[in-house]
Amino acid sequence: MHIHILGICGTFMGSLALLAKQLGHRVSGSDANVYPPMSTQLETLGIELSEGYLAAHLQPAPDLVIIGNAMSRGNPAVEYVLNEGLPYVSGPQWLAQHVLQGKWVLGVSGTHGKTTTSAMLAWILHYAKMDPGYLIGGVTQNFSQSANLGSTPFFVVEADEYDSAFFDKRSKFIHYAPRTAIVNNLEFDHADIFADLEAIETQFHHMVRTVPGNGLIISPWQDSNVEAMLARGCWSPRQVFGVNIPAQDIQQQTSAGAVVWSADVEEASGQRFIVRKHEPEQREKDVKQGSVAWEMTGLHNVNNGVAAIAAAHHVGVDVATACAALSEFKGVKRRLEHLGTVHGVEVYDDFAHHPTAIATTLAGMRARMTNDGATGQLIAVIEPRSNTMKLGVHQEQLSAACQEADQVIWFKPEDSGLDFSALLAATASNSAASYAFATVADIIQYLVRVSSPGDRIVIMSNGGFGGIHQQLLQALEQ
């Protein structure tokens, strides 16, 4: 079968292409911008890529067109598919019907941490020699590619709440029917498709309704939004996870019949921690535990790790093995990824799309700098690129999210709905300095002028940010 994918260079759609290729299909695809790292991954596997959305890319007609959720009516390729009556389907529906049928699906959902937690979970199962299938919305450092069919019933999927396609406005994860479901957290995001937090909670609860009674829901300790969502109804066993949970709270939870996964952090940076599983009526000496020492930074990643351990345990991985696996976890590209050090200035790339993500990443880096005895500045360079940010929804939260930084540099696009004058004033009240620039070149020029050995520059965007990363490294070198 010949499958053509519209929007193939997105992380999800590109991963579908890999799976379709592994199933023996001929796969081609098109995208507005054919760009790495996904384009490189696809071309290596012999997948045909075309730039743009031309009707000619669909001639001769493929047997099936998978349409990405970035496509909309008016797109030339979409209009051609509809006018010619070509068979088409959304990515999540194709995945559910052709890959996930008969699988034990481990779905990782939440506003934050889905990609990293999915990568952790897939790596734990791989380390435990369970050869899982997986689809991760990013390029993980532990695997050579972002998706794989695997050879066992277990399949790890990043369960995204974003919509499935222009013709299917349900969240992607509604299609997946996970048996093991992680709900990492829940906040308002995606203001372009959700009217409010309640609308997002409704979609998450639709997913909860698909988890079988003999499945498992793994949810965070003290997340009021998750609790409100689950209060609508929960028909599956539930386990709770968290970091530095007070002993009395653990006792209260286990007395009520809950299983609690706790992580006790040995360093503020989160680079060393002990994991314990607390069960009802369990003697203290029987508590299962393990320890993790890794290169990941931040308490949010400790939370991600504990959730992954709990999910892996549900399919038979013991705690010690899971912890040993995480100690060898190398992270995901664009999640506080170290790009290079030039003349003592360290440059990082982070896929920040929400104030909470910005805050947790900067807090983790600050703790790491303290742990390392670093004396330089922490400089955050932020492109408010997500649809929610551009609509100005997070105006009030953005300045507080940057309080761990010494300097905050904002990219100010012409089409932003943010009030940058107010944002600069509010950010300056929390940080030592705050500036906004209209071009990437101006940002780079400023950073080259003010950075010094020992500084750490964290570039935060959920897009390519005009190629600022390599341009900055080159400019610092010169």
Structural domains of the chain, with CATH = 2-90 (3.40.50.720), 102-326 (3.40.1190.10), 337-477 (3.90.190.20)
Contacts 24+ apart (CB under 8 A), 252-256: 253/221, 253/278, 254/278, 254/279, 254/280, 254/281, 254/282, 255/280
Q: What is the pLDDT of residue 22?
A: 95
Q: What is the pLDDT of residue 19?
A: 96
Q: What is the pLDDT of residue 35?
A: 66
Count the alpha carbons within 13 Å of 296 in the hemisphere toward its beta carbon. 32
Q: What is the pLDDT of residue 85?
A: 97
Contacting residues for 256 by C-beta, under 8 A, at least 6 apart? none
Q: What is the pLDDT of residue 18?
A: 94
Q: For every one of its 478 residues, what pLDDT tens digit does the chain have, with 9 covering 90 and above? A: 999 999 998 889 999 999 999 999 999 999 987 766 677 778 888 898 999 999 999 999 999 999 999 999 999 999 999 999 999 999 999 999 999 999 999 999 988 888 899 999 999 999 999 999 999 987 788 888 889 999 999 999 999 888 899 999 998 999 999 999 999 988 766 556 666 778 889 989 999 999 999 999 999 988 899 999 999 999 999 999 999 899 888 888 888 888 999 999 987 778 899 999 998 877 665 677 899 998 888 888 899 999 999 999 999 999 999 999 999 998 777 777 888 899 889 998 988 767 877 887 888 788 888 877 888 999 999 888 766 565 555 666 777 788 888 888 888 877 677 777 777 787 777 666 888 888 999 999 999 998 999 999 999 887 778 888 889 999 898 8
